[in-house]
Amino acid sequence: MVKRLLRVFLVSFLIAMLGLTAAGCSNQRPVVMVTTTSFRDSGLAGALVQVLQKQTGLKISLVAQGSGAAVEMLKRGDADVGITHAPTLEMQLTHLGWHRVPFMQNYFYLVGPKQDPARAKSLTLTEAFRRIYQGKFLFVSRGDQSGTHMMEKALWGLLGLDPDTFGDWYIKTQAGMLTSLQIANEKGAYILTDQSTWLRNRDKLPQLDFITTSTEGLNTYSFLYKDARYAVLSEAFFSKEAQQIIRQFQFEPLER
Amino acid sequence: MAYTFLFTIGTTTAAAVSAVLLAALYASSVSQPRLHLSFWRALSGIPPVLVGLLVYMLFSQAGPLGFLRWLFTPKALITAQFLLALPTALALALRERTSLPRDMEDFIRVNLPNKKHQAYLAHLKGTLPSTFFVTWGRILGEVGAATLSGGAIEGYTSTLATDILYKTNLGQFKEALVLGALLLVVSLIPSVFLELSSYGASGH
Amino acid sequence: MVQVDISFRVDSKVLTINETFENGLYLIVGPNGSGKTTFLRCLLGLHPYEGAVQMDAPVAYLPQHYEPLHTSVGDNLALFGALEIAREGPLRAKLHLPALRLSGGEKALLGLYQVLALQPKTLLVDEVTAHMDQQASRQIEQVLLEYSQQAVVFMVTHQWDALLRVQRSALVFAGTVVRKLPYDSAQSLILSWKE
């Protein structure tokens, strides 16, 4: 009986492993591409991966992490290539011999309640943030170390302010971009968002309106790779097909 | 979607079956089940995301098993699900083992001194299906460990649960709801089974 | 043959037993808490005692709170190599049922088949007939009686009428005195308790 159970155990384990090996890793281990959660959730990451796969013949596994974790994974070798939008973090990698290829950009938008109680419309982002701070108007923060959250912290930093000292008006969600937007919509709060998520979802956010953006809010996306084998992927980002998709998702493709 | 569905059922079943069989072998070989029970029962409350982190660190390039290159493959996912299922399966199997009254422990010790292990296994056998379903239910809808170990890669290592989260973040609520309904139906199977089997055991 | 020369402690009193038993069925009778079950546990080495016990091997034991293992009737029997014995008896149609679904009498019968399949030379049975009706009790007693031709069989019981049915000598526990008595004396002693 022990033997029989042991046999069942081993056989089922082996079958499962073999089956999944066959199904999953058909010939080679795919290239692991790490990107930020917000970028994956924009839907563009998946669409770009399709194009890259088609053009290079490489199989790509797309994994989403926060910006910090994504860079850490590249450093550890857990991912082979990456798409991130946190220039200061990316510098850590270029110092380690990684190639950084900026390939598209958009802007961070400040959005907020339609009445704009802080009267921040058409100010620069920094000025708008100052008004919000002075009036203690409700503000929703991702609080999740995402690229958007890093940008928001940098903007507070430009004003010499530390969000950790803020009061109840500063709401930390630790949730994704869309969820955070919905929370801001419910509470009538200001929030910093990436352009693309906003443009694609604003019809679901009736209480919110575009307030302002400016050059401090420039959001540059870069492709990161170290192994020369993956240089072909960086070429593919500048193909006609890729650039067209980038435009479709409300981003601005960059020239080589 | 069909792939994700079958993939979810396949990996969770493989992980739960392995965990339950190993638990049965373990619970039937220990001589002090009560001591082991408290340990594994405490451990079965471990947050799934911690198991995910453990598996991540284990299979990470810098980790002890990094050379296997299992991270972000179905193998790492099944490992995480297996590790998540194991304490629960062990706790249930050990509890069943300790349910044996003192008289029956003596009965086995006196009458089957050389077949104790088989006797305990036979005793556990009746509850293996329910142990399996409870264990399975624990890993079926799990997101944290599955994402950390498998990477939730679309069409490769994403499960019903990670896909629901993804689709929700994308704002594709309709797709998310369809997947959610699917997951709900599947996760009802254990309860229905347990309900029926307990009805069967109590009735004559 | 079983030779017992032991003394052991039950609650606050010390019981001493010095008897020899040839093949046959012996009922073990006495009031609650008089040490009947403890005596069986001494024989099995599960309770401390002073003195010496000699029993022919193999020894088999059917405890008071016997319950089948949580699997099918067939699996329970197969574990003891008892499938053949059971094929003749009333359990033959129930081999695929979960053993927990059997009635009290059927469970006891299942346990009995299990221990009998071990072909014991010494068989200790503790109160399996406790919650059975007369007919079921009689069935169990009949099986034991038959088997006792080739082994020493001890059967602890609370049912004084069991003695009237089997009409065998008994080991009687009365206070600190424990004695093997022939049927007649055991019967009159027990009937005197009843009054």
Sign of the CA dihedral C147, C150, C156, C161? positive
Alpha helices in chain B (DSSP H): 2-29, 33-43, 48-59, 74-98, 102-111, 116-125, 128-140, 144-150, 160-170, 173-202
Residues of chain A with CATH 3.40.190.10: 29-105+219-253, 108-217
Amino acid at A156: W
Query: Whats the size of chain B, residue-wise?
Result: 204
Question: Mind listing the pLDDT tens digit for each residue in A197-245?
Answer: 898 899 999 999 999 999 999 989 999 999 999 999 999 999 999 999 9
Quick one: pLDDT band at residue C128, thresholds 50, 70, 90?
confident
Percent of chain A with pLDDT over 90: 69
Quick one: pLDDT band at residue A89, thresholds 50, 70, 90?
confident
Q: Which residues of A touch B117 (CB under 8 A)?
A: 2
pLDDT for res A41: 81
Quick one: pLDDT band at residue A3, thresholds 50, 70, 90?
low
Both structure tokens of A31 = 């290239």
Instruction: For residue B107, give how far its alpha carbon lies from the nearest alpha carbon of chain C (Å).
Output: 6
Contact assignment for B122 to C75 by CB distance below 8 Å? yes
Homologous superfamily in CATH for domain A108-217: Periplasmic binding protein-like II (3.40.190.10)
Asked if B201 has any chain C CB less than 8 Å from its own CB, the reply is yes
Contact assignment for A63 to B170 by CB distance below 8 Å? no
pLDDT of residue A39 exceeding 90, the answer is: no
Tokens 């969820």 map to which residue?
A: A179
In the predicted model, what is the mean pLDDT of chain A?
A: 89
Asked if A50 has any chain B CB less than 8 Å from its own CB, the reply is no
Could you tell me whether strands A99-113 and A190-194 are parallel, antiparallel, or unpaired per DSSP bridges? antiparallel
Q: How many CB pairs under 8 A join A and B?
A: 102
Note if the bond before C58 is cis, omega within 30 degrees.
yes
ipTM for this prediction: 0.90
Contact assignment for B169 to A43 by CB distance below 8 Å? no
What is the distance between the alpha carbons of residues A186 and B150, in angstroms, rounded to a whole number? Answer: 34
pLDDT for res B202: 45
- Helices then strands, each counted (H, E), chain C: 7, 9
User: Mean per-residue pLDDT for A83-99?
Assistant: 91
Question: Mind listing the pLDDT tens digit for each residue in B97-127?
Answer: 998 999 999 999 999 999 999 999 999 988 8
pLDDT for res C137: 85
Q: Which of C65, C75, C118 sits opposite B103 (nearest CB)?
A: C65
User: Mean per-residue pLDDT for C141-161?
Assistant: 90
Q: How far separated are the first and last CA of chain B, in Å rounded? A: 43
pLDDT for res A22: 54
Q: Which of C63, C72, C76 sits opposite B106 (nearest CB)?
A: C63
Homologous superfamily in CATH for domain A29-105+219-253: Periplasmic binding protein-like II (3.40.190.10)
CB B113 within 8 A of CB B119: no
Tell me which chain C residue has its CA closest to the CA of residue B125.
Answer: C71
Asked if C100 has any chain B CB less than 8 Å from its own CB, the reply is yes
In A, residues 99-158, which contact B (CB 8 Å cutoff)?
A: none
Q: Which residues of B touch C98 (CB under 8 A)?
A: 126, 200-201
CB A19 within 8 A of CB A48: no
Percent of chain C with pLDDT over 70: 99
What are the percentages of helix, strand and coil residues in chain C, rounded to 5? 40, 30, 35
Rg (C-alpha) for chain A, rounded Å, is: 22
pLDDT of residue C27 exceeding 70, the answer is: yes
Among A40-54, B27-41, C21-35, C175-189, name the one with the lowest average pLDDT: C175-189
List the Cα angle A123/A196/A213 in 5-degree steps: 10
Selected residue of A9, A28, A197 to mutate for chain B interface (largest B Cβ count, 10 A): A9
Quick one: pLDDT band at residue C153, thresholds 50, 70, 90?
very high
Per-residue three-class SS string for B170-187: HCCHHHHHHHHHHHHHHH
Closest CA to B90 of B144, B40, B34: B40
What is the distance between the alpha carbons of residues A133 and A138, in angstroms, rounded to a whole number? Answer: 9
Q: Which residues of A touch B71 (CB under 8 A)?
A: 32, 78
Asked if B196 has any chain C CB less than 8 Å from its own CB, the reply is no
pLDDT for res A4: 63
Could you tell me whether strands A139-141 and A218-225 are parallel, antiparallel, or unpaired per DSSP bridges? unpaired
- What residue ranges define each of the domains in chain C, with the CATH number in brackets? 2-58+120-194 (3.40.50.300), 68-119 (no CATH)
User: Mean per-residue pLDDT for B128-136?
Assistant: 90
Selected residue of B96, B100, B111 to mutate for chain C interface (largest C Cβ count, 10 A): B111
Q: Which residues of C touch B102 (CB under 8 A)?
A: 65
Percent of chain B with pLDDT over 70: 96
Question: Mind listing the pLDDT tens digit for each residue in B55-102?
Answer: 999 999 889 999 999 999 999 999 999 999 999 999 999 999 998 999
Tokens 């650039």 map to which residue?
A: A243
Contact assignment for C66 to B104 by CB distance below 8 Å? yes
pLDDT of residue B204 exceeding 50, the answer is: no
What is the distance between the alpha carbons of residues C66 and B143, in angstroms, rounded to a whole number? Answer: 45
What is the distance between the alpha carbons of residues A109 and A134, in angstroms, rounded to a whole number? Answer: 20
pLDDT of residue A18 exceeding 70, the answer is: no
pLDDT for res C193: 78
Contact assignment for B169 to A178 by CB distance below 8 Å? yes
Burial of C143 (0-12, 13-18, 19+ CB in 10 A): middle
Instruction: For residue B129, give how far its alpha carbon lies from the nearest alpha carbon of chain C (Å).
Output: 12
Q: Which of B101, B110, B204 sits opposite C65 (nearest CB)?
A: B101
Contact assignment for B106 to C46 by CB distance below 8 Å? yes
What is the distance between the alpha carbons of residues A123 and A119, in angstroms, rounded to a whole number? Answer: 9
Q: Which residues of B touch A203 (CB under 8 A)?
A: none
CB C145 within 8 A of CB C24: no
CA dihedral C74, C77, C83, C88 (to 10 degrees): -90
In B, residues 118-137, which contact C (CB 8 Å cutoff)?
A: 118-119, 122-127
In the predicted model, what is the mean pLDDT of chain B?
A: 90
Asked if C63 has any chain B CB less than 8 Å from its own CB, the reply is yes
- What residue ranges define each of the domains in chain B, with the CATH number in brackets? 2-202 (1.10.3720.10)
What is the distance between the alpha carbons of residues C161 and C159, in angstroms, rounded to a whole number? Answer: 5
